[in-house]
Amino acid sequence: MTAYTLMALALLLDMPFFALFGALSDRIGRKKVIMCVLFLASVT
C-alpha cells in the first residue's frame, strides 16, 4: 500500500470518532476529553 492509501484509510476509519468525540466534548468539555484521550494513548 502506498502512503496515500494508508492515509485515506486512516481518515475513513477515524471519521466516526470525530463526530463521537466532538459531541462528547460539547457535553463534558473539551479539556476533559483531551486529557482522557491523552491518558489512554499513554497507557497503550
pTM of the model: 0.62
Mean pLDDT taken over the chain? 93
Residue 25: predicted pLDDT: 94
Question: How confident is the model over 8-23, as pLDDT tens digits?
Answer: 999 999 999 999 999 9
**Where are the chain's structural domains?**
15-44
User: Are 39 and 32 within 8 A, CB to CB?
Assistant: no
CA separation for the pair 22, 5 (Å, rounded)? 26
The pLDDT, as a whole number, for residue 1 is: 77
What per-residue confidence (pLDDT) applies to 44?
A: 85
**Do 21 and 9 contact (CB within 8 A), yes or no?**
no
The set of cell numbers assigned to 13 is 476509519
